[in-house]
Amino acid sequence: MLTDAVVNGITAGSVYALVAVGMTIIFGVLRAINFAHGEFYMLGTFGAWWGIETLDLPYIVSIPLALIIVATIALAVGVLVMKRLIDQPFQIGIVATLGVSLVLQNAVILIFGGAYKMFDGGWIEPVEILGVSLSEQRILIVVAALAIFGLLELVVHRTRFGKTIRAVSQNIEACKVVGVNVPAVVIGTFVLGCTLAALSGVLTAPVTVSLYGGMGTSITVKTFAIIVMGGVGNVSGTLFAAWLLGLMESFVASYLGLQFRDAVAFTALIAVLTFLPGGLFSKRERF
Amino acid sequence: MATMQLHEVNTHGSHIYNNPRHGLRITGFVVLVVALAAAPLVAGEYQLHALIVSMTFLLPALGLNLILGYAGMLSFAQMAFFGIGAYSSALTAMRWGTPFWLNLIIGGLAAGVVAVPLGIPALRLRRYSFVMCTLGFAVIAQTVAKNLVSVTRGDLGLSQVPRPRIALWSGGFEVTGITSYYYLALTLAVLAVVAFLALVSSAAGRYMIAIREDETLAASVGTPTWHYRMIAFALSAVFAGVGGSFYVHYFTVISPTVFDPFYANTVLVIVLGGGVGTVGGVVLGSFLFVAASEALRIAPDLRMIAYGLLLIVIVFACPEGLLPLFMRKLDGLKGRTHVA
Amino acid sequence: MSPDTLAALSIRGIAKRFGSIVAVAGISVDIKLGEICGLTGPNGSGKSTLFDCCTGLQKPSTGRVYAQGLDITGWDMHRIVREARVIRSFQKAVVFRALSVEENLVLCGQMIAFAGMASTFGVGPASRHRVRRLREQAGHLLELVGLSHMRHATAGQISFGQQKLLQFASMLMPEPRVILLDEPMAGVNPILIDRMMENINRANREQGITFVVVEHNLDAMKALCHRLLVLSRGELIADGAPDAVVRDPAVVEAYLAG
Ligand SMILES: Nc1ncnc2c1ncn2[C@@H]1O[C@H](COP(=O)(O)OP(=O)(O)O)[C@@H](O)[C@H]1O
Ligand SMILES: [Mg+2]
């Protein structure tokens, strides 16, 4: 039971980490919380499910298909909504992205129906590692999360795009003055962040199996808890906070009962906000 | 520092004082109440039901308007307080057969009492942290309602909640017909609006507006800002709790779904859509966005898409909401301009 | 270093650090009751931070502040206004922009008229009477500062100079004993500057209010103040009669260097 709990916790944590890192970089450039973030996770899952069920594609092909669909939707939302949030008071950002989340979530329910769907794909054969039996998909999730975090560190620190993102995060006014195309950076970051959330959804679907239109909401709130715990803009902090949350949830689910799992994130969030307003890994207050 | 309002310079709060349109406002209120009182003569049963539901939502909406529009804090805890009011009122009535007026008070007080310990850590937070803390509270409230099975019966929820019994203590009569329910709801709504107006036009209301405008400046002229933010938070919970109490004795059932984001979003749309920081706007909002969609029997998913689009359009196109927009059009027609 | 219990403000070894920045480096000074005291110094020399430490906006890193012998160190801002009657203005936040000019004044007077918290919730005749009294008082003050014709205008829409006059009038509403003004004349046109100085003088003469005024305009300071303090890099470098202080070589040096 203990090893199961640990394995489950790390897997779930890696899933959360991929979603949360997207939200963190979006917050960095826009200073706005994306309330629709979980919806992009949900859209990723639905995209892959649709590819498998309707187009009869294999899982491996449905992954890029889902990512392309989500990136397109994110681009549209970025152009229509997110771009306008630059320099707006934070409550505008909350309300606007909440609106986006309502539209996306209920559009999916309208199109595909509100009932639970079964996800039939992925590699769920169990393998034995160090005496622990776990599915290939779980290994894939953890490896993918680590790879993506490594890649992100490279992108953020080595590429032009990454440098622009960092510059805008640090001083948006100065960037405007020196002629950085801030709206383009915002839209680009938004598409990147949302696509990461979608990737997380696609990779998790074979493990969680069931999917429904409203599944994004709890992801959004957990993601927020993670970026607060990890410290905003702190990429490795995000990964550790996500694993920590995954582990805490997994232990609570195993030892107290599954029904308490979804309250863990918020209990932790409220505790961190109250006692460590800068997050677990930094001293500075960022919100 | 200053908790930002939705609009940088929001001038609505000041309308309650020396309002050039004060007369118009009172006339409008009286006309609306008379029209609503006459509604059962023409409206069918379903329309009356729609109006009752919208007047039920008016209460948590007034509560949100108080903290968002007057004290400047965006809270997602409103429907959690609504649910707390509903559950506590239902449980008391089921166990002790308490009369309706006492249930309302219990519902309101229960919500207000829970708001205080939540407010102690939450009100220290600013911006996103506060918003998220209130959202988290709603999640936790739902978890409790689902899992405290011995009290709440979990996901099944409570059913056969007593109907409102109008009596001083024992005896009296039970409200059953839709028309009686309707008048009960109307009475409650009118009382709530009057109480709200009294509150925001009192000295305390002026302090709350000052806090919304600039918290540091407010403190510098002797406003105990923390206390008034706490009071606004707790009173907003009381409004929601009373609404929840009425709701549960009308529908006679309650389940943890009351904590679903659906309801919280509805309240947000009412306040932002109607006009944050105005009372008329919130009244307009609840009739427009709840009664209309109930009456037209729009499916929940379509309604939510409409709400979502509405939220996006509102924040960018008319952050003050519809009522101020109408009022400006009205003034434009009369060729009159006024400051603020 | 015992406090002067007769002083309007007795500042004892106040220092304030922000991380490695030393904004105020240990200042001790007494502001006498009834005086108009100027406070000047280059930008960033710690004038506003000193005000912040005296009025509860910032907690000083070390040192204590007394108002007529009352130790107010670490008190909340609203309590310092209410119980010690020390009130301050801000450089940037000037008035409640959404409220009307008159409502700004009524709000600031509520602290006196509605002293207990419970009374602020009243809506009966007694409360209405109190508000009426506040409006009368506000009307009187608006006449003094020359803003009577704007009493119903929205405060955010009047000119900046007029806002500063309104701010000044607002600060008289809570019946203060000490007023700390942070650059009341910056960005104000010369005619309104004269009016502002006249008002400070009158409030000092007629109501015996003690003033500490931060200002860069040394001519205005010489005309207005009984005494002038100069800060440089968080330290008090001069204290005395305005005419003497402006000729002090250390002061000239600080300004040229700053
Ligand atoms: N909240 C703060 N955090 C960090 N540094 C501050 C803060 N407030 C003031 N300072 C610094 O303290 C010094 C004094 O500032 P201030 O008191 O505003 O000067 P003055 O009012 O004389 O122009 C400056 O170097 C300023 O940058
Ligand atoms: Mg200054």
pLDDT tens digits, residue range A188-245?
889 999 999 999 999 988 888 788 888 888 888 888 888 888 877 677 788 888 999 9
Residue B247 predicted with pLDDT over 90: yes
Please report, rounded to a whole number, the percentage of residues in chain A having pLDDT higher than 70: 95
Residue C244: Cβ-neighbour burial (10 angstroms; 0-12, 13-18, 19+):
exposed
Sign of CA dihedral B296, B302, B304, B308: negative
**Sheet with C227-232, edge to edge strand ranges:** C86-88, C178-182, C210-214, C36-40, C227-232, C235-240
CA atoms within 13 A on the CB side of C117: 11
Using CA positions, which residue lies closest to atom 4 of ligand 1? Answer: C18
Is B27 within 8 Å of chain A by CB? Answer: no
Helices (H) and strands (E) in chain B, counts: 15, 2
| pLDDT tens per residue across span C82-134 | 999 999 999 887 899 889 999 999 999 998 888 888 888 988 888 889 999 99
**Three-class DSSP category at B167:** coil
* Any ligand 1 atom below 6 A from CB of C46: yes
What DSSP character marks residue B2?
A: P
Provide residues of B within 8 Å CB-CB of chain C.
2, 9-14, 17-18, 198-199, 201-204, 206-207, 209-210, 213-214, 216-225, 227, 339-340
Can you tell me the distance from the alpha carbon of C108 to that of B220, in angstroms, rounded to the nearest whole number? Answer: 9
Of C247, C240, C253, C208, nearest to C37 by C-alpha is C240
Can you tell me the distance from the alpha carbon of A276 to that of C126, in angstroms, rounded to the nearest whole number? Answer: 46
Which of C175, C195, C220 is where one domain is finished? C175
Residue C14: Cβ-neighbour burial (10 angstroms; 0-12, 13-18, 19+):
buried
Which of C175, C210, C236 is where one domain is finished? C175
- How many domains does chain C divide into? 2
Q: Tell me whether chains A and C touch (3+ CB pairs under 8 A).
A: no
What is the whole-number distance in angstroms between the Cα of residue C49 and the centre of ligand 1?
6
What is the whole-number distance in angstroms between the Cα of residue C61 and the centre of ligand 1?
14
Of A107, A217, A265, the CB nearest to B305: A107
Residue B128 predicted with pLDDT over 90: no
Q: What is the pLDDT of residue B69?
A: 85
Which C residues in the span 77-106 are in contact with B, Cβ-Cβ below 8 Å?
Answer: 77-79, 81-82, 87-90, 93, 95-100, 102-103, 106
Please indicate whether, in this complex, the C-beta atoms of A103 and B312 are within 8 angstroms of each other. Answer: yes
Can you tell me the distance from the alpha carbon of C139 to that of B153, in angstroms, rounded to the nearest whole number? Answer: 62
Question: Is the domain of C195 the same as that of C77?
Answer: yes
Can you tell me the distance from the alpha carbon of B319 to that of A91, in angstroms, rounded to the nearest whole number? Answer: 11
Residue from C49, C89, C180 to probe ligand 1 pocket by mutation (most atoms less than 8 Å from CB):
C49
Can you tell me the distance from the alpha carbon of B22 to that of C116, in angstroms, rounded to the nearest whole number? Answer: 29
Residue A155: Cβ-neighbour burial (10 angstroms; 0-12, 13-18, 19+):
middle
Can you tell me the distance from the alpha carbon of A172 to that of A164, in angstroms, rounded to the nearest whole number? Answer: 10
- How many domains does chain A divide into? 1
Q: What is the reported pTM?
A: 0.87
Task: Report domain extents, chain B.
Answer: 2-260
Give the mutation candidate from B1, B73, B132, B214 for the A interface (greatest A CB count, under 10 A): B132
Range of the domain at A89: 2-215
Question: Which chain B residues are within 8 Å of C156, Cβ to Cβ?
Answer: 9, 11
Mean pLDDT across the stretch B14-38?
A: 69
E runs forming strands in C172-245: 178-182, 210-214, 227-232, 235-240
**Residue A243 parent element (H or E):** helix A235-255
Residue C46 predicted with pLDDT over 70: yes
Please indicate whether, in this complex, the C-beta atoms of B227 and C117 are within 8 angstroms of each other. Answer: yes
Which amino acid would we find at residue B309?
Answer: L
**Nearest 10 degrees: CA dihedral of C73, C77, C83, C88?**
100
| pLDDT tens per residue across span A50-80 | 999 888 888 889 999 999 999 999 999 999 9
Of C102, C103, C107, C100, nearest to C154 by C-alpha is C100
Mean pLDDT across the stretch B253-260?
A: 86
Can you tell me the distance from the alpha carbon of B118 to that of C230, in angstroms, rounded to the nearest whole number? Answer: 47
Residue B51 predicted with pLDDT over 70: yes
Is B9 within 8 Å of chain A by CB? Answer: no
Asked whether A71 and A195 are in contact (CB, 8 A), the reply is yes
Q: What is the pLDDT of residue B329?
A: 64
Question: Which chain C residues are within 8 Å of B10, Cβ to Cβ?
Answer: 98
Question: Is the domain of C115 the same as that of C144?
Answer: yes
| pLDDT tens per residue across span B148-162 | 888 888 888 888 878
**Three-class DSSP category at B73:** coil
Q: Picking from B16-20, B44-48, C26-30, which range would have the lowest pLDDT averaged per residue?
A: B16-20
A36 Cα to chain B: minimum distance (Å)? 11
Q: Which residues on neighbouring strands pair with residue C22, listed in sequence order?
A: C17
Residue C88: Cβ-neighbour burial (10 angstroms; 0-12, 13-18, 19+):
buried
Asked whether B89 and B250 are in contact (CB, 8 A), the reply is no
Mean pLDDT across the stretch B260-268?
A: 85
Q: What is the pLDDT of residue B2?
A: 35
The secondary structure of B100-135 as a DSSP string is HHHHHHHHHHHHHHHHHHHHHHHTT--HHHHHHHHH
Q: What is the pLDDT of residue A89?
A: 79
Report residue C46 as tokens: 């710690």
Can you tell me the distance from the alpha carbon of B282 to that of B273, in angstroms, rounded to the nearest whole number? Answer: 8
Can you tell me the distance from the alpha carbon of B126 to that of A228, in angstroms, rounded to the nearest whole number? Answer: 13
Residue B292: Cβ-neighbour burial (10 angstroms; 0-12, 13-18, 19+):
middle
Tokens 């000239």 belong to C252
pLDDT band, residue B18 (cuts 50/70/90): very low
Can you tell me the distance from the alpha carbon of C167 to that of C161, in angstroms, rounded to the nearest whole number? Answer: 10
**Sheet with C21-31, edge to edge strand ranges:** C21-31, C9-18, C62-67, C70-71
Report chain A's terminal Cα–Cα distance, integer Å.
38
- C220 part of a folded domain: yes
Which amino acid would we find at residue C215?
Answer: E
pLDDT band, residue A280 (cuts 50/70/90): low
Report chain C's terminal Cα–Cα distance, integer Å.
30
- Give phi and psi for C231, each to the nearest 5: -105, 145
Residue B13 predicted with pLDDT over 80: no
Using CA positions, which residue lies closest to atom 24 of ligand 1? Answer: C44
Cα B124 to its chain centre, rounded Å, is 23
Which residues, 6 or more positions from B198, have their beta carbon under 8 angstroms from its beta carbon? C123
Asked whether C227 and C239 are in contact (CB, 8 A), the reply is yes
CB pairs under 8 A between A and B: 124
- A276 part of a folded domain: no
3-class DSSP string for A16-36: HHHHHHHHHHHHHHHCCCCCC
Residue B100 predicted with pLDDT over 90: no
Mean pLDDT across the stretch A93-113?
A: 91
CA distances from B100 to B90, B107, B184 (A): 10, 10, 11
Q: Which residues on neighbouring strands pair with residue A286, listed in sequence order?
A: none
β-bridge pairing C21-31 and C36-40: unpaired
CATH number of the structural domain spanning residue C62: 3.40.50.300
Q: What is the pLDDT of residue C87?
A: 94
| pLDDT tens per residue across span A126-144 | 777 777 777 788 888 888 8
Q: What is the pLDDT of residue C54?
A: 93
Report residue A77 as tokens: 């939302």
Which amino acid would we find at residue B151?
Answer: V
Cα B251 to its chain centre, rounded Å, is 18
Question: Is the domain of C124 the same as that of C171?
Answer: yes
What is the whole-number distance in angstroms between the Cα of residue C23 and the centre of ligand 1?
6
Residue A42 predicted with pLDDT over 80: yes
Asked whether B273 and B303 are in contact (CB, 8 A), the reply is no
Which amino acid would we find at residue B62?
Answer: L
What is the whole-number distance in angstroms between the Cα of residue C166 and the centre of ligand 1?
26
Q: What ipTM did this prediction achieve?
A: 0.91
C76-79 contacts, C-beta under 8 A, 24 or more apart: C76/B219, C76/B224, C77/B216, C77/B219, C77/B220, C78/B219, C78/B220, C78/B222, C78/B223, C78/B224, C78/B225, C79/B224
Asked whether A122 and B41 are in contact (CB, 8 A), the reply is no
Report residue B225 as tokens: 């800002």
* Any ligand 1 atom below 6 A from CB of C21: yes
Residue B97 predicted with pLDDT over 70: yes
Can you tell me the distance from the alpha carbon of C70 to that of C83, in angstroms, rounded to the nearest whole number? Answer: 9
Q: Which residue of C has its CA nearest to B225?
A: C78
Task: Give the mean pLDDT of chain C.
Answer: 89
Of B213, B223, B227, the CB nearest to C98: B213
- C134 part of a folded domain: yes
Biggest alpha carbon–alpha carbon distance for chain A: 59
Can you tell me the distance from the alpha carbon of C258 to that of C242, in angstroms, rounded to the nearest whole number? Answer: 20
- A228 part of a folded domain: no
| pLDDT tens per residue across span B53-74 | 999 999 999 999 999 888 888 8
Range of the domain at C154: 95-175
CA distances from C78 to B40, C6, C57, C110 (A): 52, 23, 10, 12
Residue B110 predicted with pLDDT over 90: yes
Q: Picking from A151-160, B289-298, C87-96, which range would have the lowest pLDDT averaged per residue?
A: B289-298
- Give phi and psi for B244, each to the nearest 5: -65, -40
Q: Which region, left, alpha or beta, applies to residue B339 given φ > 0 means left and ψ of -120 to 50 means alpha?
A: beta
- Give phi and psi for C154, each to the nearest 5: -75, 130
pLDDT band, residue A165 (cuts 50/70/90): confident
Task: Give the mean pLDDT of chain B.
Answer: 82
Which amino acid would we find at residue B8?
Answer: E
**Three-class DSSP category at A117:** strand
Asked whether B116 and B231 are in contact (CB, 8 A), the reply is no
Report residue A144 as tokens: 């993918």
Report residue B232 as tokens: 């606004």
